[in-house]
């Protein structure tokens, strides 16, 4: 099975859902030097994260190099009820992307 | 956007990451031009970053924004930051780490369906003011916290 790129959970509350996600990513800043070679390690980090509720985009998160490795993200969506579809997708500076769909539980 | 411009853009971007992302369904055509704010994220100066991203470097400090950060971060690589606010009409929530090489850490665009809450973890290179700026109804509000860092988090 392919390595998991993100882990998402959407919990239904009264009138809204709390979405918590971990996006698996090195979030390399491009400002570090390799200890062995002395070369700068190229930047490789998530830049954009999309959160959709029943296919409509509700939140767009823009990230920079200061977000920690394996970014943790928690957001909340009004009107999201049990059974609704939540999608989170990310896109990084090298064009890599991944997404996951979950139902509000 | 007229169709000629759209097809010109599509053709010129063929093979680029944008084309791949459109194909992957992650970017719908209407979002293709809503680009990641590169200048603001690349900026080394916090007021310049704030101005570039939000249109102004001035904001009203308010207790209506709850900014939660640890007082002391033992590991600067992973500093939890939570922003919550009672302000209505929130358009964006942004977090700046004033002493970082690139001060703008994260910025979330909130639609009307989004609750004005954002939690994440950021890297702090050293002891630093962390500022959460909320844009609501075109106005900027902010809250500031100082986080002491014992072990800097940007590596290298």
Min Cα–Cα distance to chain A from B61, Å: 23
pTM of the model: 0.86
Q: What angle do CA A32, B36, B80 make, to 5 degrees?
A: 55
Question: pLDDT of B131-152, one tens digit each?
Answer: 999 999 999 999 999 999 987 6
User: Does A74 sit within 8 Å of B118, measured CB to CB?
Assistant: yes
Contacts of residue B16 in chain A, CB cutoff 8 Å?
95
Determine the pLDDT at residue B1: 54
| Closest Cβ opposite residue B122 in set A47, A61, A66 | A66
User: Does A72 sit within 8 Å of B119, measured CB to CB?
Assistant: yes
Neighbours of B63 (CB within 10 A): 7
**Residues in chain A, total:** 105
User: Does B118 sit within 8 Å of A66, measured CB to CB?
Assistant: no
Interface of A with B (CB under 8 A): 16, 29, 31-33, 47-48, 50-51, 53, 56-69, 71-79, 89, 91, 94-95, 97, 99
Q: Looking at residues B113-125, what average pLDDT do you find?
A: 97
Query: Read out DSSP for A21-61?
Result: EEE----B-S--B-TTT-PBPPPB-EEEEEEEETTEEEEEE
Question: pLDDT of A55-90, one tens digit each?
Answer: 999 999 999 999 999 999 999 999 999 999 999 999
Question: What is the interface pTM, i.e. ipTM, of the complex?
Answer: 0.95
| Closest Cβ opposite residue A66 in set B97, B110, B156 | B97
């Amino acid at each position: 099975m392919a390595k998991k790129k993100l882990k998402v959970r959407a919990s239904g509350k009264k009138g809204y859902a709390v979405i918590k996600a971990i996006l698996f990513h090195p979030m390399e800043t491009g400002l570090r030097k390799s200890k062995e070679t002395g070369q700068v390690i190229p930047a490789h980090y998530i830049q954009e994260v999309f959160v959709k509720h029943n296919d409509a985009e509700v939140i767009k998160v823009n990230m920079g190099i200061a977000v920690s490795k394996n970014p943790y993200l928690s957001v909340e969506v009004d009107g999201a009820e049990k059974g609704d579809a939540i999608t989170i997708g990310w896109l990084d500076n090298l064009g890599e992307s991944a997404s996951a769909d979950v139902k509000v539980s | 956007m007229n169709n000629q411009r759209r097809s010109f853009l599509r053709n010129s971007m063929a093979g680029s990451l944008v084309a791949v992302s459109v194909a992957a369904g992650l970017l719908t055509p209407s979002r293709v031009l809503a680009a990641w704010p590169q200048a603001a994220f690349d900026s080394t100066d916090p007021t310049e970053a704030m101005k570039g991203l939000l249109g102004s470097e001035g904001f009203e400090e308010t207790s209506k924004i709850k900014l939660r950060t640890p007082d002391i971060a033992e590991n600067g690589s992973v500093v939890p930051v939570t922003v919550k606010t009672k302000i209505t009409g929130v358009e964006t929530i942004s977090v700046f780490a004033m002493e970082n090489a690139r001060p703008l850490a994260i910025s979330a665009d909130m639609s009307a369906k989004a609750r004005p809450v954002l939690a994440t973890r950021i890297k702090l290179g050293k002891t630093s003011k962390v500022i959460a700026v909320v844009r609501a109804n075109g106005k900027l509000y902010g809250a500031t916290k100082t986080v002491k860092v014992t072990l800097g988090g940007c590596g290298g």
